[in-house]
Structure 1
Amino acid sequence: MTLITNNLPEALMILGVLALIIEVAVLGISTFILLFLGMSLFTSGLMMNFNLLDDSLTTALWSNTLITAGFALFLWKPLKRMQNNVDKKGVQSDFAELDFVLADDVDENGLTMHLYSGISWKLKSKQPLSAGTHVKVVKKEVGTMWVEAI
């Protein structure tokens, strides 16, 4: 315990960095609590290191309480807005450029199967396609390929 109290600013900065690493690397910024706490611990340790704050446990407790509350107050809404901003565009890959000739008729019901890469995929199409039509994959979902005629 004396090691921590004798080196309180450094200990606070190390704890802050560890909290930030856990929040970002392990939790993926899903909870903001460790983010605010880590920033607060690092900030108060830095302020103690430059003698802007007294390096005592009482000062560390109160400064971290106030700084954490301040970070939470000012950063909660912007971070929540950033977290809710989800990109909804489809992923493009070489898989989407696959083309082949239909062995059976295809429609929107997805009753036709196509074997590709060892997996049986349901085939669906917005317009009915007959067997023997040359098609390409235009969209993919879990277990389903959407195709259209070339």
Structure 2
Amino acid sequence: MAFLDTYLAETLMILGVLALIIEVAVLGMSTYVLLFLGLSLFASGLLMNIGLLDSNYTTALWSNIVFTLGFAVVLWQPLKRLQDKTDTKPLHNDFADITFVINSDVDDRGLTTHPYSGIQWQLKSHTPIAAGSTVKVTEKQVGVLWVEAI
């Protein structure tokens, strides 16, 4: 206990950095609880180390309560907005970038299927395509391949 009494400020800063590392590296900024706590621990330890706060357990407890709540109030909305941003542009990958010959007519109703990678995919097209045509996949959805004639 004498070690913590002597090095309380440094211990708080180390615990704060560890909480921040766990929040960012392990949890991927998904909870924010450890972010607010880590910032609070580091700020309290830094202020104790500088001499602006007394270096005792009561001050450490109350300053961390106040700082944690303060960081949560100040940072909650900006972090929430940052987390809510979604990318709406379509993702391009090599999956299903294929061409093949269709056996049946294809239209936007999805009555035709095509086996690919062990799954029966519904084929849909914005314009009707006759059987025997070579098609290319233009869009992928769950269970549906949108195709167009080449």
Fold equivalence (TM over 0.5): yes
Query: In the alignment, residue 106 of structure 1 is paired with which amino acid?
Result: V
Deviation at 1:118, TM superposition (A): 3.0
Give the equivalent residue in structure 1 for 2:32.
32
- C-alpha distance in structure 2 between counterparts of 1:11 and 1:103, whole Å: 71
Q: Does 1:23 align with 2:23?
A: yes
Q: Which moved more, 1:38-47 or 1:89-98?
A: 89-98
Deviation at 1:2, TM superposition (A): 4.0
Residues 65-122 of structure 1: per-residue CA shift (max 9 Å, x gap): 2211221222111111111111121101123532222122222222322122333222
Please show how residues 52-131 of structure 1 align to structure 2 within 5 Å: 52-95=52-95, 97-131=97-131
Aligned-pair identity in percent equals 61
TM-score normalised over the length of structure 2: 0.86
How has the CA–CA distance of structure 1 residues 117 and 96 changed in structure 2, closer, same or farther, with 3 Å as cutoff?
Answer: closer
Deviation at 1:3, TM superposition (A): 3.7
Unaligned runs of 5+ in 2: none
- C-alpha distance in structure 1 between counterparts of 2:95 and 2:33, whole Å: 40
Number of equivalent positions? 150
CA RMSD of aligned residues (A): 2.0
TM-score normalised over the length of structure 1: 0.86
